[in-house]
Structure 1
Amino acid sequence: MKIFLYLYLLFIVLTPLEAINEMDSLLTHLEATMAQRDQFDQKKENRISQLKELAHKNNNNLEQIFFINNQLIEEYLTYTLDSALHFINENINISKKLNNIRLTHQNNIKLANIMASSGRLFEAFEILNSINKKELNDPLLIDYYKAFIKTYNELSFYAPLSSNYHKYYSKVEAYTDSLIPYLNQNSDDYLSILEKKYRDDRNLLECKKINTQRLSKTKMGNRLYSQITFERSLLYQLEKDEEMQMKYLILSATSDIQSSVKDNASLTVLALLLHKKGDIDRSHEFIKFSFDDASFFNSELRFKVISEILPVITEAYEHKTEKQQRKLQTSLMAISALLLLLLIAIFFIHRQLATLRLTQKELKNINSKLNKLNLNLAESNKKLNQANDQLSESNHVKENYIGNFLSICSNYIDKMDQMNKKVSKKITSRKIEELLAETKSNKLIDKEVKEFYKNFDDAFLHIFPNFVNELNALLRTEEQIILKSEERLNTELRIFALIRLGINDSAQIAKLLRYSVNTIYNYRVKVKNKALGNRENFEQQVMTIDAVKD
């Protein structure tokens, strides 16, 4: 029973994580598809160019040109509004020359559909009302009723008054009833009507079944797939399931881009949802992409929809950008302040070094005078010389470490200058997320720790070149420390190197070497247990290891 409870809890925890991972993956794929827009559009342009070349052949008759124009109209319908209108009007003129009323009606119905899609509803009704329904065969009647349904749908959607909405929507229902008898029940047109009926009745379970059936008959990268997935998102909108709504909007938008559909709504709705969730960067990126598509398609209706959304998202994006810039400016000011403090510290170190050298010079003069004292002071002089030797060694250690410290400070100034330039460059190019990722990384700290170890090893062994051999001489033969080929000192040797420099406190050693106090204590005990003689005197013996004097 406990196992089942554990598995159930694990499922509850992991299911949201899987959903998040899937959403991130879908959004990443959508952004990658957006980056390839020019490639998909080029394929569309190549098809159009081939059709135009075919249309301009000298031996084409009017029927052949009409047929090719029809293919061009299909290519342009969701790509470029003006071009689609051009070829529809050209085909209307050809059908009149051929005196073919069926072809004239066919193109007038297409023209009415385009007028409705672009918001020019008065022109759409004028064209449809000019058509004599009795002159239409069954396929044209289907297109005729669908055009009326589309036009009244658009009119009801934008109707400001509730009474007008119901009036126009009753027309949609009436034309739908007229259309259904002409449709094959397995056709997408029929299933689409059935799905919409279930959706309007809020029978979402049956609605999903129909949508799944339609979706199984198509695939990503064509206009029908984009429409069906968009309609699927409407179902989840009614269920208030924003995650699933976003999923199908992403799929629809991805398919739109792959099929070069410029007259689309999926990406605009997705931008609104992302703005609501606080993903301002993606929201701004998507609404700009939608605006570019609408500009290319040149639909007043699509411009109107996007123009109501674009300022809201743009304002949020600019506010976020300004906030990030203020944070970065604060960071730069802090870095500049630290750099100033470092320069001040270097100044004082340099002044202290000058004082130390002056002291050394004076001390040497005193020693010279003391050496000239009479022989009665020989014993005292001997002791004084021993003290002087110890002081000289101490000064030698300090000189080397101060020189090394100055070199390190200089390197850090260069690194901070490079970082300052790098931060400024990334701010200028707005690579904010990349800069944040770099500042969160531990790579820089790890690199600097390795550099610290190397500098310490080099400086210490410069002063105590025989330290490793002399320390090993204090250990049993089988317990002596053997370094790897690329090592100069290891952790054990660095601990006792610090002890030799007079740093005996484990907490201080742990802080310098970036280990825990317990780890330092264990290393000290471990090495002392390997001592050749009395382990209690081992650290005192380490202190007797000599430095090389200049």
Structure 2
Amino acid sequence: MKKRTSILAAFLLTMVSAYASNPRTDSLWKVLKTELSKEPRYIDRKEQKILLLRQRLSSIPDTQFSPRFTLLSQLFDEYSSFKFDSAVTSVNRMIDLSKRFHKQDELIKSRMAMVTVLLKSGFYKEAFEAVALIDTAVLSKQTRHEFLNLRAMLYAEVSAYDNDAFFAKSYKQASQRDYRSAASIITPDELEQMTSRAFLPETDRNRKPTAEFYYRYFLDNHLTEHQVAMAATLVSHAYQGDDKLLLLMLASISDIRSATKETFAIFLLGQEFFKLNRNGDAYICIKEALGNAAFYGTRNRAAQIESVLPLIASRLLEEKQHEKDMVWIGLGIVMLVAVVLVFQLVLFRKQVIRIKVNEQVIKEKNAELQDVNGMLWQSSKIKEELIGLFFKTCSSYIETLEKVKRKTQHNIKLGKYQDATTVLGNVQIQQEKTQLYSTLDSVLLTLFPNFVASFNSLLNKEDQIWLKKGEMLTPTIRIFALIRLGVTDIETIAKILDYTVNTVYTYRARVKAKAIVEPEVFEQKIMEIKFTDEF
């Protein structure tokens, strides 16, 4: 039972992770995997560049200090994040060259380069010995700033490596002192200031940029791939979740493109995937990180990775076993569904037999419905044509008014005011109203031929209103006929019939008072009058 519960929990967690994914990080992860497939190409490009530098170095005589030292520095820059042993060889040659020519500044620069590469590779004891060889009394302002930052990084790395309650604390304090001292010497550049804002305290949360801001900033400010990787890795420590993934993916992509093998970003990314239970993605990252550590020769990093890799591998094995269990569960569900379907087929056959028994009855009912539908269609067609006729009549009135308007405006424009008055005088408003009401009555009675009879059936016999042959509707009937057509607003009715609102209210009140039904339901009964009522 516990095993099945764990399988269900894993399945639900996988579903939640799938739905909770971020489109931006998903697309960036695809780019990262594509770049991993291109990694040999980037390494070849790096090695070609190194080969050219070595060829140029071999062509310069040993007696020329400046060009040889410059090329050795460039070689060291290429090797420092690519191959540890070659980087150490290059920096030792820089030290020997500086000593031979008695170049104090270059010697200090070379020793700091040695500290850097030893720090990256986990040779902390040797790094401290190299730091002790640097004569701090002769350092320039800029060099002292770089020296203090470098020593602060060394203290921080040792603190993280010890990771205990006593020794790690003292190293961390020493690191913070050196960072503060370095900051007091030289004002940080724009990139340093920008990255430091990511670590503002909680009280300054509103000033802290978003991870998306840093993502765009690193891409839009013409930084090298290595600079982007270092800055994005640093800033990622200030964020969590998808924000952290975004920055670490950017750093990992930049490391791959710059053929950087001494990289921490891909390892941190693998750890984040592991926390999110994305074990397949975590395995890809950790495996790449382990390959990088072996390629570069990073002892401390390899030890860290080797401690995490078995955990990811074991979880992947568990997931595979869970998938197999889910397949068996799925097969069981399919079998159960098959049994249910067979049972449903038996019931369906019985229903088919019953349907056939009643099929003839259904056909007869369908024939009746077709007849009724035909009648309704004819009735609907007639009503549509009558409504069209009504609107055509209204259009004719509008056209007549338009003609009168144009003639009048024309006469006024020509100064023929008497002719304009004559044109306006020829408009017989009352006659037009009478014609309009006649058309309206004709349409109403066509749509509701039994309206008058239905209306009178709601009144006492002595109060009923009957029309003589050829007679138009009375104002009272006309008001309720408009209500039946859906015109329920009193002001609208008054405007259509050229009555005052009080007149309409009066007519309604009188009729309701004479009704044989309750006044509250009288208008509801009016609305129930149908097209083909019979009496």
Deviation at 1:123, TM superposition (A): 1.4
Cross-structure match for 1:208? 209
Which residue, 202, 213, 234 being the options, matches 1:231?
Answer: 234
Which residue, 118, 138, 157 being the options, matches 2:141?
Answer: 138
SS at match of 1:235: coil
Q: Given residue 175 of structure 1, which amino acid in structure 2 is its aligned partner? A: D
Cross-structure match for 1:113? 116
Show structure 1 runs of 5+ residues with no match: 1-15, 336-503, 509-517, 526-550
Quick one: distance in 2 between partners of 1:185 and 1:147? 15
Cross-structure match for 1:457? none
Quick one: distance in 2 between partners of 1:166 and 1:505? 82
Deviation at 1:26, TM superposition (A): 1.3
Quick one: distance in 2 between partners of 1:172 and 1:39? 38
Deviation at 1:143, TM superposition (A): 2.2
Cross-structure match for 1:68? 71
Q: How does 1:313-462 map to 2 (within 5 A)?
A: 313-324=312-323
Q: Given residue 102 of structure 2, which amino acid in structure 1 is its aligned partner? A: N
Cross-structure match for 2:25? 23
SS at match of 1:262: coil
Identical amino acids, percent of aligned pairs: 17
Cross-structure match for 2:248? 249
Cross-structure match for 1:482? none
Cross-structure match for 1:397? none
Provide Cα deviations, 1:26-51, integer angstroms capped at 9, x if missing partner: 11111111111111112111111111
Quick one: distance in 2 between partners of 1:330 and 1:186? 60
SS at match of 2:209: helix
Quick one: distance in 1 between partners of 2:305 and 2:225? 23
Cross-structure match for 1:222? 225
Cross-structure match for 2:273? 274
Distance of aligned partners of 1:263 and 1:204 in 2 relative to their CA distance in 1, 3 Å threshold: farther
Q: Which range moved further: 201-210 or 301-310?
A: 201-210
Distance of aligned partners of 1:256 and 1:309 in 2 relative to their CA distance in 1, 3 Å threshold: same
Provide Cα deviations, 1:140-159, integer angstroms capped at 9, x if missing partner: 22221122111111122233
Cross-structure match for 1:38? 40
Quick one: distance in 1 between partners of 2:352 and 2:102? 101
Deviation at 1:216, TM superposition (A): 6.4
Quick one: distance in 1 between partners of 2:234 and 2:250? 11
Tell whether the 8 Å contact from 1:183 to 1:189 is kept in structure 2 after alignment.
no
Deviation at 1:72, TM superposition (A): 0.8
SS at match of 2:122: coil
Distance of aligned partners of 1:325 and 1:216 in 2 relative to their CA distance in 1, 3 Å threshold: closer
TM-score, normalization by structure 2: 0.54
Provide Cα deviations, 1:91-133, integer angstroms capped at 9, x if missing partner: 1111111111221111111111222222222211111122211
Quick one: distance in 2 between partners of 1:163 and 1:124? 21
Quick one: distance in 1 between partners of 2:179 and 2:70? 29
Which residue, 84, 87, 93 being the options, matches 1:90?
Answer: 93
Deviation at 1:328, TM superposition (A): 7.2
Distance of aligned partners of 1:311 and 1:209 in 2 relative to their CA distance in 1, 3 Å threshold: closer
Deviation at 1:276, TM superposition (A): 2.7
Distance of aligned partners of 1:160 and 1:251 in 2 relative to their CA distance in 1, 3 Å threshold: closer
Deviation at 1:170, TM superposition (A): 2.4
Cross-structure match for 1:179? 182
SS at match of 2:263: coil
Cross-structure match for 2:306? 307
Which residue, 160, 163, 166 being the options, matches 1:160?
Answer: 163
Distance of aligned partners of 1:109 and 1:185 in 2 relative to their CA distance in 1, 3 Å threshold: closer
Tell whether the 8 Å contact from 2:60 to 2:68 is kept in structure 1 after alignment.
no
Tell whether the 8 Å contact from 1:221 to 1:258 is kept in structure 2 after alignment.
no
Cross-structure match for 2:51? 49
Tell whether the 8 Å contact from 1:218 to 1:225 is kept in structure 2 after alignment.
no
Deviation at 1:83, TM superposition (A): 0.9
Larger relative contact order (CA 8 Å, sep ≥ 6): 2
Quick one: distance in 2 between partners of 1:201 and 1:332? 53
Cross-structure match for 1:501? none
Tell whether the 8 Å contact from 1:112 to 1:127 is kept in structure 2 after alignment.
yes
Tell whether the 8 Å contact from 2:122 to 2:300 is kept in structure 1 after alignment.
yes
Quick one: distance in 2 between partners of 1:44 and 1:79? 9
Q: Given residue 171 of structure 1, which amino acid in structure 2 is its aligned partner? A: A
Deviation at 1:200, TM superposition (A): 6.4
Cross-structure match for 1:12? none
SS at match of 1:236: coil
Tell whether the 8 Å contact from 1:214 to 1:228 is kept in structure 2 after alignment.
no
Distance of aligned partners of 1:90 and 1:72 in 2 relative to their CA distance in 1, 3 Å threshold: same
Distance of aligned partners of 1:314 and 1:292 in 2 relative to their CA distance in 1, 3 Å threshold: same
Provide Cα deviations, 1:210-261, integer angstroms capped at 9, x if missing partner: 9849636645761111122223322213xxxx12111211111111111111
Tell whether the 8 Å contact from 2:232 to 2:247 is kept in structure 1 after alignment.
yes
Quick one: distance in 2 between partners of 1:230 and 1:132? 32
Quick one: distance in 2 between partners of 1:82 and 1:271? 26
Quick one: distance in 1 between partners of 2:331 and 2:210? 57
Quick one: distance in 2 between partners of 1:271 and 1:32? 17
Q: Given residue 218 of structure 2, which amino acid in structure 1 is its aligned partner? A: L
Quick one: distance in 1 between partners of 2:194 and 2:30? 32
Q: Which range moved further: 297-306 or 277-286?
A: 277-286
Distance of aligned partners of 1:305 and 1:246 in 2 relative to their CA distance in 1, 3 Å threshold: same
Distance of aligned partners of 1:186 and 1:216 in 2 relative to their CA distance in 1, 3 Å threshold: farther
Q: Which range moved further: 314-323 or 78-87?
A: 314-323
Tell whether the 8 Å contact from 1:113 to 1:150 is kept in structure 2 after alignment.
no
TM-score, normalization by structure 1: 0.52
Quick one: distance in 1 between partners of 2:165 and 2:257? 38
Distance of aligned partners of 1:225 and 1:130 in 2 relative to their CA distance in 1, 3 Å threshold: same
Larger Rg computed on CA atoms? 2
Distance of aligned partners of 1:505 and 1:275 in 2 relative to their CA distance in 1, 3 Å threshold: same
Q: Which range moved further: 83-92 or 243-252?
A: 243-252
Quick one: distance in 2 between partners of 1:506 and 1:45? 79
Deviation at 1:174, TM superposition (A): 2.2
SS at match of 2:238: helix
Deviation at 1:183, TM superposition (A): 2.3
Tell whether the 8 Å contact from 1:109 to 1:128 is kept in structure 2 after alignment.
yes
Q: Given residue 28 of structure 1, which amino acid in structure 2 is its aligned partner? A: K
Q: Given residue 208 of structure 1, which amino acid in structure 2 is its aligned partner? A: P
Deviation at 1:288, TM superposition (A): 0.9
Q: Given residue 174 of structure 1, which amino acid in structure 2 is its aligned partner? A: R
Quick one: distance in 2 between partners of 1:325 and 1:120? 46
Q: Which range moved further: 183-192 or 81-90?
A: 183-192
Runs of 4+ aligned residues of structure 1 deviating over 4 Å after TM superposition are: 16-19, 189-192, 199-205, 322-335, 504-508
Distance of aligned partners of 1:243 and 1:190 in 2 relative to their CA distance in 1, 3 Å threshold: closer
